[in-house]
Amino acid sequence: MEGLKWLKNVGFLIGRIILGLYYIMAGVQHFTKFKMMSQYAASKFSFMPEAGVIVAGILLIVGGFTILTGFMPWIGVLSLVAFFIPVTLIMHNFWAEQDPQMKMMQMIQFMKNMGLMGSALIFLAIPEPWPISLTRRK
């Protein structure tokens, strides 16, 4: 059984690395592709789209860092949920699209975001400190 625990911990760590880096890279893109993302955000909503892109990038980076390191992961989960709810509902509102191809593309993005948000919420059920993480018991 001890070998199985080790395997689960390593699998959990590999999954965290993959998912954490995914979120960090997505967050960094909000800054490296700032102009393009700001223009797209402006096409979806008119209230401070540049600030929205910056906040979204920060939320993704925080979420990715906490999942990657296991350091205070509940903050990362809250960050990711705070990202996914408005982005999914505003940026990927497939129901408002008239073009069938755009409707399908937005629906795929909407469903992807819902799945990622669901996976983020699952992390709340994993007792802390996580195995192989920066969080230490006092």
42-63 per-position pLDDT tens digit: 999 888 999 999 999 999 999 9
Letter for the amino acid at 10?
Answer: V
Crossing angle for the helix pair 2-32 and 49-69, nearest 10 degrees?
A: 160
Segment 9-18 mean pLDDT = 96
Apex 30 CA angle, 16 and 33, nearest 5: 130
- Residue 117 has which token pair? 């948000």
- Residue 22 has which token pair? 């995914």
Domain boundaries, the chain: 13-125
Is cis: bond before 129, omega within 30 of 0? yes
d(CA 15, CA 103): 31
Read off the pLDDT of residues 68-90 as tens digits, 9 standing for 90 and up: 999 999 999 999 999 999 999 99
Nearest CA-CA partner of 12 in 114, 138, 128: 128
